[in-house]
Amino acid sequence: MLSADRVDDFPRTFVVKNAALISMDDELPEQVPGAAVLVRDGIIDGVFASSSAMPSDLSDVPSIEAGGRALLPGLTDGHAHLDRETLGDDLPGFAGARSRRDVLDVIAEAVAQRHPGDWVVTRPLGTPPRYPDADRPLSGGWLPDRYDLDSVSRDNPVFIRPIWGFWNMAAKKISFANSLALAAGGITASTVSPHEDLTIVRDERGEPTGMFVETGQQAMVEHTLLRAAPGFSRQQRTAAIGRAFGRYASYGTTAFFEGHGIAGEVLDAYADAYGTPAPLRAHLQLSPFWPEIADLSTTLEGWRDRLDRHAGPFARVDGIFVEATDDPLRYELVASDHPRTGWAGFSAGAVVPAARLEATLLACARAGIRVSGIAANLLDVMARVHRASPIDGLRWTLGHQATLSAQQIDNAAELGLFMTTVTGHHLHRGVYTRALVGTTREKDIVPVRSLMAAGVPVVLGSDNRPISLWESVEHVVTREDDLGNVVAPEQALTRHEALGLITTNGARLTGDTDTRGVLRRGYQADMALLDRNPLDCDARELHATRSVATFVAGRPVSADSSVVRRLGLAPGHRWF
């Protein structure tokens, strides 16, 4: 990756030469081979059909030789969860562990670095980042119990965290504690689980073994039974965000919209993280903990002012996320651990009871507050609110919809909604989704083309599983699920259309239509130089796309060390 000193002395004026330009500018062809782009003080100052078309007085400007690689606007992730990507990287982990002995060795090493009484909190068992073996992490071998953990940690409470369920939605979520950790939580033979989805595993005598099993995607154990275990600190979250900037940028992402909302503790971390030069552009929805909010507009203004002081033009609070649920008990239990949110990063206290949902949205509409949500019933509620106080123009956003009928699409168009879609949930598992809705509704599964035809802006989101938007691009182009079945082929997009969902539409989602999303003179120099051309490569290889170099406001935020060479600072020298 590009080192910090190279970012600091990177020239403010430079030219990218000999690029296959995919500008997303309607006034240019879809692709311009051999093009050049001039950047001056973070802004695109010229786009040229060829290097020879550049003015002669630019011959001494530092240059980047693209070598025919594709250059396109930086990508916008419509549902990122960026704060979660590297969270926990500083905890002891078990990648490669194949036996109980391997697990105990990791715990013993961690204990050796701590004082007696200190907690040892680790990453989950299994193989990151997707944890395909989450509920069988040791090849089906014997999992550790409290006494195994006690054997290497007699003086330190131990908690092996469960996975975030959306990393592996089919797996049960397992976690482990030693005897000291159980005692800290007051967990005995008589302890009753607070929720039916959380099982305290017991031996034949009824004593807790130290293992917990959960069937819900959002684990509750650390917010209830093991609340005594330390959660993620502000420093850990800040460091995770700083690392994630570069990781997301390595795929060409330069901006993101946190459509699921950000809890207060994560907003604190973002304010701290924006001390780095030219990070990614963040558009953060607030996940409100309603019990402590007296006036929503005042709260939003306070966060906007704070982020502006720390991040300037690179981050802003852009509205709220409204949570609705069919399982209020789960959210009450997790919210009781406020302000801690664990892996989630959003507040369980953001849930609005069904009886107050419409009134809450109506108050937001009247106050001009942007609202995002993912609950399936929100579209109907938003429609009723719109009739009382029009919301078109407020850029309200609905995400995560596996299916949408023609009537629902028309309703979304009337309301001026933005749609963000996570194809890894619904299209990648297309046959599974088709089994749920029936073959007669197959065309309604992630109906991107129908949404576009109705004038509803669609933006692809990674949902942090995985972080690359290129898998989603491949999904909407090929319409293939993970078994190779083509699902609703009439909804397929061309490649250029798919790129529009993560460039121009992304800029519309964040309200930046006139400043980014297109490589055009006067626009921000947010751009990505790719290792393959997404308009020409094998469609089934789109998911493997990486960025050779990614720029935000003309500053490199990621570059691949295998292809980048430092060639000097003098005018006329090439950089990459």
> How would you label 540-565 residue by residue, b for 16+ Cβ within 10 Å and e otherwise?
eebbebbbbbbbbbbbbbbbbeeebe
- pLDDT above 80: residue 252: yes
What pLDDT shows up at residue 575? 52
Contacts of 317 (CB under 8 A, 6+ apart): 267, 284, 285, 286, 300, 303, 304, 307
SS3 25: coil
For the chain, which domains are there?
A: 1-74+516-576 (2.30.40.10), 88-231 (3.10.310.70), 235-515 (3.20.20.140)
How far apart (Å, rounded) are the C-alpha atoms in residues 467 and 175? Answer: 25
- Cβ atoms of 252 and 460 within 8 Å: the answer is no
**Residue 394, token pair as written in the block:** 């407020």
**Per-residue pLDDT averaged across 200-208, rounded?**
97
Report H helices in 371-429. Answer: 378-388, 406-415, 423-426
First to last CA, the chain: 13
How far apart (Å, rounded) are the C-alpha atoms in residues 417 and 437? Answer: 24
Our CA angle for 135, 141, 143, nearest 5°, is 65
Query: Could you read off the pLDDT of 102-134 as tens digits, one per residue?
Result: 999 999 999 999 999 999 999 999 999 889 999
**Per-residue pLDDT averaged across 377-406, rounded?**
96
Query: Among 62-71, 184-193, 511-520, which stretch is predicted with the lowest mean pLDDT?
Result: 62-71
What pLDDT shows up at residue 276? 61
- pLDDT above 60: residue 576: no
Q: For 124-130, which contacts have Cβ atoms below 8 Å and span 24 or more sequence positions?
A: 124/94, 124/160, 124/161, 124/162, 124/163, 124/174, 124/175, 125/94, 125/97, 125/160, 125/174, 125/176, 126/94, 126/163, 127/95, 128/93, 128/95, 128/167, 129/167, 129/466, 130/167, 130/168, 130/465, 130/466
Mean of the per-residue pLDDT values of the chain: 92
What phi and psi values does residue 346 have, to the nearest 5 degrees? -120, 160
13-21/70-73 β-pairing? parallel
What pLDDT shows up at residue 572? 44
What pLDDT shows up at residue 517? 98
Tell me the longest C-alpha to C-alpha distance in the chain. 86
Query: Could you read off the pLDDT of 273-293 as tens digits, one per residue?
Result: 997 665 899 999 999 999 999
What pLDDT shows up at residue 55? 87
Q: Which amino acid is at 374?
A: I
What pLDDT shows up at residue 566? 40
Query: Among 17-21, 173-177, 276-280, which stretch is predicted with the lowest mean pLDDT?
Result: 276-280
The percentage of the chain sitting over the pLDDT mark of 90, rounded to a whole number, equals: 81
What's this model's pTM, rounded to 2 decimal places? 0.94
What pLDDT shows up at residue 278? 58
- Residue 170 carries which DSSP code? T
The percentage of the chain sitting over the pLDDT mark of 70, rounded to a whole number, equals: 94
What pLDDT shows up at residue 54? 85
Q: To which H or E segment does residue 364 belong?
A: helix 354-367
- pLDDT above 50: residue 567: no
What phi and psi values does residue 324 have, to the nearest 5 degrees? -130, 150
Count of Cβ atoms closer than 10 Å to residue 509 Cβ? 28
Query: Among 55-69, 140-154, 366-380, 559-573, which stretch is predicted with the lowest mean pLDDT?
Result: 559-573
Query: Could you read off the pLDDT of 145-173 as tens digits, one per residue?
Result: 999 999 999 999 999 999 999 898 889 99
